[in-house]
Amino acid sequence: MEAVVLYGKEDLRLERVAVPAAGPGEIVLRVGAALTCGTDLKVYRRGYHAMMLKPPIPFGHELAGTVVEIGEGVTKFKVGDRVVPLNSAPCDVCYFCQHGQQNLCEDLLFNNGAYAEYMKIPARIVEKNTLPVPDGVSFEHAALTEPLACVIRGMEESAARAGDSMVVIGAGPIGLMFLHAASLAGVDVIAVVKREDQVETAKLLGARQVLKIEDGMDVVAATRALTPAGRGADVVIEAVATPMTWEWAVGMVRKGGVVNFFGGPPSGTVVALDTNRLHYGDITLKASFHHTPSTSRTAFELITGGRFKAAEFITSTAVLDEVPEVFQRMMTRSNPGGLKDIKTAIFPASTGGTQ
């Protein structure tokens, strides 16, 4: 079969590899669709991910597909089932799992290899974090479950309630998911975006107000001016992952509010924060990483229930041999025809596209 393999920094290769076989408790999928992801882009830039993968390794982690083989002992699924496997599963026995923090599991099992014709799903993920896809839901929409599950956990950790105000900094896939999920929950969202094409998309997905950053603008002051009484937002979500936007987030939140540093800058990044504002403003700072089986199911229900505008997140399509070119375009934000670029659905040629 054909599969895209990561060999190092900006080094993706389409290769012929053996079709995987299902061992005990495992399943093999024919990939229906895989999606590009900001995390995959960061890994592509850096050439590795300390927790999730080390090259050379099959690449990609957001997918859905059809079961073509089941291993000994598998009872939850059968050949022909349409499923979405998450990219990880916790052990449920370590300290963190026992304390309700499965995303921090000491033995968190990751799985990669979505940009391929077939993919094997490990037994633990089959058992704990693989979900049946209803016939009316396309593979590319079901594959949005993984990133949305991370966003749902971030929402839960930020404790935003209906009627609260929220600022979302960034309008990439994750920022747009945050503002859309928040708006569906009745939260009043202000989006802070960089590009003109992001303004329309943010409004379409539920942002009540959108601030487009301009040269020379005091972004913090301009954002606070859009919040109730100019006091700052109840919750601020940082979804860009730069020191500057982390600092902006603290300046945009109200006294007693919550900042969620969702975007993760590179290791060793240092941020300067006003300790006086943090202390006397009684500000809560949080960071959210990854997802749990519970937030995966919440995200999946939001997608399959039809309220989540999944189609708006799939802005282009490609086949396997185009994946290296797609990631080069993502590096430069170069998209043919000037189209908005959120996520690309990758279809193995053997699947014939959307199913």
pLDDT in tens, 22-52: 999 999 999 999 999 988 998 898 876 767 7
pLDDT band (50, 70, 90) for residue 351 = very low
In a domain, 182, yes or no: yes
The range of the structural domain enclosing residue 315 comes to: 2-144+308-351
Rounded CA-CA distance 176/169 in Å is 10
In a domain, 72, yes or no: yes
Strands ordered across the beta sheet of 57-58:
11-16, 2-8, 57-58
CATH code of residue 80: 3.90.180.10
Q: Looking at the predicted structure, is the pLDDT value of residue 335 above 90?
A: no
Are residues 281 and 168 part of one domain? yes
Are residues 164 and 138 part of one domain? no
Strands ordered across the beta sheet of 165-169:
209-212, 188-193, 165-169, 233-238, 253-261, 284-286
Q: Looking at the predicted structure, is the pLDDT value of residue 7 above 80?
A: yes
Q: Which residue has the higher pLDDT, 234 or 47?
A: 234
Task: Give tens-digit pLDDT for 76-97.
Answer: 999 999 999 999 999 999 999 9
Q: Looking at the predicted structure, is the pLDDT value of residue 195 above 70?
A: yes
pLDDT confidence of residue 340? 65
Are residues 177 and 81 part of one domain? no
- Measured in Å, how far apart are the chain's first and last C-alpha atoms? 20
What is the average per-residue pLDDT within 155-182? 97
In a domain, 215, yes or no: yes
What is the average per-residue pLDDT within 195-208? 96
Are residues 162 and 135 part of one domain? no
What is the average per-residue pLDDT within 302-316? 96
Beta-bridge partner residues of 192 = 169, 211
In a domain, 13, yes or no: yes
In a domain, 153, yes or no: no
What is the average per-residue pLDDT within 44-62? 85
CATH code of residue 261: 3.40.50.720
Are residues 129 and 7 part of one domain? yes
Are residues 132 and 12 part of one domain? yes
Per-position b or e across 38-57, b if 16+ CB within 10 A of its CB: bbbbebbeeeebeebbebee
Last residue of some domain: 286, 317, 340?
Answer: 286
Q: Looking at the predicted structure, is the pLDDT value of residue 353 above 80?
A: no
Q: Which residue has the higher pLDDT, 334 or 310?
A: 310
- Number of domain units in the chain: 2
Q: What is the pTM of this model?
A: 0.94
In a domain, 294, yes or no: no
Q: Looking at the predicted structure, is the pLDDT value of residue 339 above 60?
A: no
Count CB neighbours of 350 within 10 A: 13
| CA distance to 72, 94, 222, 236, 254, per residue, from 311 (Å) | 37, 38, 31, 26, 34
DSSP state, residue 230: G
Which residue, chain included where needed, has tokens 């053996």? 18
Are residues 215 and 117 part of one domain? no
Q: What is the overall mean pLDDT for the chain? A: 94
Rounded CA-CA distance 299/331 in Å is 28
Are residues 209 and 166 part of one domain? yes
Are residues 77 and 167 part of one domain? no
Task: Give tens-digit pLDDT for 120-145.
Answer: 999 999 999 999 999 999 999 999 99
